[in-house]
Structure 1
Amino acid sequence: MVLEIFDAMLEPIFSAFQSVEGTIDTAAPAGILLLGLLTGLRHSMEADHVAAVSTTIATAGRKNLGQASMLGALWGLGHTATLFVAALLVLLLAVHIPEKMSGQLEFGVGIMLLFLAVTAFTGFNAGRFFKGLRGRKAHSHFHAHPEQGIAHDHRHDHRHGHKSIIIGMVHGMAGSGALMLVVLSTINSIPLGLAYIAIFGAGSIASMAGISTLIGLPFTRARSQVRLALALKYAAAAVTFVIGAGLVYELGVVEQVFRE
């Protein structure tokens, strides 16, 4: 349901992109690269991508627009890195990526979204957990807001950049199969194919950085309002959970992507 609402909201934008993409002459290298840029811009707006980055921004310890933009750009960087590796395998080694594998990897994205949502709700941090098992103490501060009747533990976590890159890499793996089919069907030159991936990545990075800036606006404004900040965080986590659960159900139960 959430996916349908999100897609309906962005339908005019997606339609505009598709209309422009339909007019591009892919017979020329410049046309192929332009198509890659536009596809990269549109690709970053998909619901599961936006949900993952939203939850990452919501759980970041320090909220500002610069950080939000950076987290989005790092997501795009991780996404591009995975696609570039996949492109090398396909274009240089002629590795075939089964269409079914793309669905299985997308199922993994659903699991990742569920994990992100649960950790946002609970405050669980895998990095701090394993540090605790090794006896290392987390760096944290206790904050009380008596005027609002709220007290919380604020932990300093500087791993959100790494987290964004990893999330982008997981998304890149999930989308690489379909993308490679497009590349192979239109590009016969290996350098041009790699250039396509690079400019597709540039579009994804730029677009997600812009989207993350917009997402970061309400979180930045709510920094000094603890109740509102928590409400925004839990709202982002709830949407992410619903999208993740939807992907897991659709791919695991309806499409049965793991069934032989």
Structure 2
Amino acid sequence: MVLEMLDALAKPLSDAFQLVESSIPVTAPAGILLLGLVTGLRHSFEPDHIAAVSAMVASSEKGGKKGGLRSAPILGAIWGVGHTASLFAAGLVVLLLATAVPEWLSARLEFGVGVMLAILAVTTITGWSVGRFFWGIISLNARHRHIHSHGQLVHDHNHNHAHDGGHAHAHKSLIVGIVHGLAGSGALMLFVLPAIHSVPLGLAYIGIFGAGSIAGMAGVSTLLGIPFARLSGNSVKARLVLRYVAGVITLAIGAGLMYEIAAGGQIFQ
């Protein structure tokens, strides 16, 4: 239901992109590359991509007006870099083997995107960090020992050093982009590659597609960062409300994605 509503809202923009794509001649390499750029831009506006970046912008630890506006486009661009990197790896395999991505694999990867969105939503709503959790486990074996003496009494104790400095969750954006690049419409994009009989042209197509997705997602995330910067710069309550809204929408999209794929029998067949 949520996915259908978001698709309906994005339909005018999607129709505009499709109109441009249909008017691009693909008989020459230049037309193929231009199609890749436009398709990459359209790809960045898909609901699950916007939901993922909005959750990351909402959970970014760089608060305030300037911090939010500076970190938002960076998060989107890094998402695009991860997205392009995974597409390059998968695209190279497709080009060398002259094959297409199997539907069963694409469905499972898309289901993984739904799981990832659900986890991202929970961490956004609760403020819990998966990275800190694993770092806490690792740091249990990285204690620092100190010995203090007071006359004939000697005190020996261990303690951990915290590494919780503020950051913009760039590593999270990269991972989310990589997962997105291996699934969904990114995988569908690879169906174009078997028709391209030149490996350099195919890789150039992926590169142009990636450039479009990087530019598009940087722009989308910048737009998403504006309300967080303006409404929550001096208000903790407003920031929490925006974070919860982003988390709930992301959770709904992730759950809806998993349900649609599972209900369609594409996972457990």
TM over 0.5: yes
Which of 256, 259, 268 pairs up with 1:249? 259
Equivalent residue runs for 1:24-43 within 5 Å: 24-43=24-43
Which of 224, 227, 232 pairs up with 2:237? 227
Q: In the alignment, what sits opposite 2:162?
A: 138
Contact kept, 8 Å, 2:122 with 2:247, in 1: the verdict is: yes
Contact kept, 8 Å, 1:77 with 1:168, in 2: the verdict is: yes
Is 1:204 aligned with 2:228? no
Distance 1:157 1:84 in 2: 31
Equivalent residue runs for 1:2-21 within 5 Å: 2-21=2-21
Contact kept, 8 Å, 2:98 with 2:194, in 1: the verdict is: no
Distance 2:210 2:169 in 1: 20
The normalised TM-score by structure 1 is: 0.89
Q: In the alignment, what sits opposite 1:143?
A: none
For structure 1, which segment, 72-81 or 115-124, has the greater mean C-alpha deviation from structure 2 after superposition? 115-124
The normalised TM-score by structure 2 is: 0.86
Distance 1:95 1:137 in 2: 50
Q: Secondary structure at the match of 1:181?
A: coil
Distance 2:120 2:203 in 1: 32
Consecutive unaligned residues in structure 2, runs of 5 or more: 141-159
Distance 2:168 2:90 in 1: 26
Distance 1:96 1:18 in 2: 22
For residue 158 of structure 1, report the CA deviation from its aligned partner: 2.7
For residue 90 of structure 1, report the CA deviation from its aligned partner: 1.0
Equivalent residue runs for 1:77-156 within 5 Å: 77-94=81-98, 96-133=100-137, 134-135=139-140, 136-139=160-163, 156=165
Bigger radius of gyration among the two: 2
Contact kept, 8 Å, 1:101 with 1:177, in 2: the verdict is: no
Distance 2:129 2:233 in 1: 21
CA 1:228/1:159 → structure 2, altered by over 3 Å: closer, same or farther?
closer
**How many residues matched?**
243
Distance 1:107 1:156 in 2: 33
Consecutive unaligned residues in structure 1, runs of 5 or more: 140-154
Identity %: 55
